[in-house]
Structure 1
Amino acid sequence: MYLSISGFLPAEDEDDSLKFDLDLNESYNSRILQLLGHSSLNAMSEGEWLLTKEQVIELSQIIGESLPTDLDLYIGVLA
């Protein structure tokens, strides 16, 4: 299992197509779980979680990659 980030235009926009997709390296899992307050990937597997702007900034620092701040970003678990 691994974490994936999906990005969509803000909710008020009628275009609901995927605008950003990033599969995260498993080596970041424990730091990301700690950041988001989940105990395990299984605990997160219930669905996708909307990230706050602060979480997006912190995730960018963890993975060493800029994430878009103009999209609604969700994180979820993929098998």
Structure 2
Amino acid sequence: MTEEKKTMRYLSITGFYPDEKQDDSLQFELTIKDYELNQALAQLTESKSSEEIEPGELELTVSQILQIADLLNVDFPKDLEYFIGTRSAS
């Protein structure tokens, strides 16, 4: 009998300067490994469970960032563009 190993996935928020700054270096990164918070973020950003979110990144709107900041009690640096995407736990 073989056991299928399930990969844990979690959400990560990254922030970069807008394109006009011509600096594509990572300015902000926050990984969320708490299951309930991942579910809440997935619903807020894509109206899906975190398991249903496809790999890749989605640009967050200002409204979403404000809601996420409130949910996570985090101060996001201003003047950055933010993205949310799935990551696999190592």
Higher gyration radius (CA): 2
Q: Percent identity over the alignment? A: 35
Q: CA deviation at 1:34?
A: 1.5
Number of residue equivalences: 79
Listed one character per residue, the Cα deviations across residues 25-75 of structure 1 (whole Å, up to 9, x for unaligned) are 323012111111332324323310100011000000111111123100100
Cα pair distance change 1:48/1:36, threshold 3 Å: same
Q: Equivalent residue of 2:19, what SS?
A: coil
Which ranges of 4 or more aligned residues in structure 1 deviate by more than 2 Å?
40-46
**Equivalent residue, structure 2, for 1:22:** 30
Q: CA deviation at 1:78?
A: 0.3
Range 1-10 or range 18-27, more displaced = 18-27
Structure 1 length normalisation: TM-score?
A: 0.87
Q: Does 1:56 align with 2:39?
A: no
5+ residue gaps, structure 1, are none
5+ residue gaps, structure 2, are 1-8
Structure 2 length normalisation: TM-score?
A: 0.78
Cα pair distance change 1:25/1:46, threshold 3 Å: closer
Find 1:44's aligned residue among 45, 50, 53. 53
Kept in 1: contact 2:43–2:49 (CA 8 A) = no
